[in-house]
Amino acid sequence: MTSAVYSPNKSSGLRDFIPHLPAGVWSLSGFSLLWFGGIVLPLLAIILVSFLQGRGLNINFDPTIKQYERFFSYGGGDMLARSVRIAGTVTIIELLLAFPFALWLAKGCKNNTVKLLTFTALTVPFFLSPAARVIVWRSVFGINGVVNQVLLGAGIVDKPVLWLIFSEFSVHFGFIGAFFPTMVWPIFLSISLIDNDYLEASGDLGASRLRTLLHIIFPLALPGIVAGFVFTFIPMLGDAVVSSYMGGNNVLMLAAQVQSLIGVSNFLVAAALAAVVLAIMLAFQVLLWFALKPVGGLAGVFASLRR
């Protein structure tokens, strides 16, 4: 170790990027190799697998589009369209609810206790079992559930309301609570990074609030909005819990379909389905990439947090 000797030129070349722990570059390379080889490539390999054929666990490497034909002939297209429609609708509802709320939280709310409590309320659900968050709705909305008991007792309806559970209504409802934080957080972060001076300057120059919102806040918050859209829509599309608890067998969505295909060892059709979803996901990733470009990409978002 010659570190006691001060040399002004020591931070040059590679050392510029890795200013400490020369071992760091090796461990990073090693970890990245494992991660990309063990995780990223296998995930992308679904697309390859979906073009193969075989039965059960035996597959051979003859390229074919048979799996896609089978998938769509079994009504897979309808299921996929339904999943995308439900997830898309709820994501837009979340956006309409979350944007004003995040705006208020970032710029309007001056009470630190309220802020802290709201942050905590928005963070805790990430670490709770997804099942624990929806399981009760069955008892509340079921045929003999609380809502029906109250409605019957008050004489508003003659017989139990059936569409409260195991319907598209209940699936939408279950999603709205569960996926609110993933929409609020990115929008909140992007709005709180907007300099207050911009907003004041806009007001001083005579712009109305609406004009400031549309011409200053909205464009600057766009990366957060797109990130929120992606982080809400994507997990919702693949959600296994809400759709099965709230939708039952009446609202078949992606996750249930994948599971039933795997359950009957129809691996390759499942791969075709997964590949279609993966393609949608990659398209979104490209969208996110372009949306974050003005702020220097994903890395830029973190660089701005340094302040």
Residues 270-289 that bind other proteins (CB under 8 A): 270-271, 274, 277-278, 281, 284-285, 288-289
- φ and ψ at 60, to 5 degrees? -120, 165
Residue 207 sits in the site that holds other proteins (CB under 8 A): no
Cβ–Cβ contacts within 10 Å for residue 102, how many? 25
* Contact residue for other proteins among 9, 158, 159, 305 (CB under 8 A): 305
Number of H helices, E strands in the chain: 17, 2
Closest alpha carbon to 137 in 160, 94, 169, 93: 169
**Binding segment for other proteins among 24-32, 63-71, 74-82, 151-159 (CB under 8 A)?**
24-32
In order of 1, 74, 75, 285, the CA distances from 291 in angstroms are 46, 36, 34, 10
- Smallest gap from residue 225 Cβ to other proteins (A): 15
Which residues between 121 and 140 bind other proteins (CB under 8 A)?
121-137, 139-140
Distance of CA 242 to the CA centre of its chain: 14
Residue with Cβ nearer other proteins (66 or 133): 133
* Distance between CA atoms of residues 140 and 131, nearest Å: 15
- Smallest gap from residue 160 Cβ to other proteins (A): 13
Residue 229 sits in the site that holds other proteins (CB under 8 A): no
- Smallest gap from residue 194 Cβ to other proteins (A): 16
* Contact residue for other proteins among 184, 226, 251, 291 (CB under 8 A): 184
Residue 97 sits in the site that holds other proteins (CB under 8 A): yes
* Distance between CA atoms of residues 280 and 46, nearest Å: 13
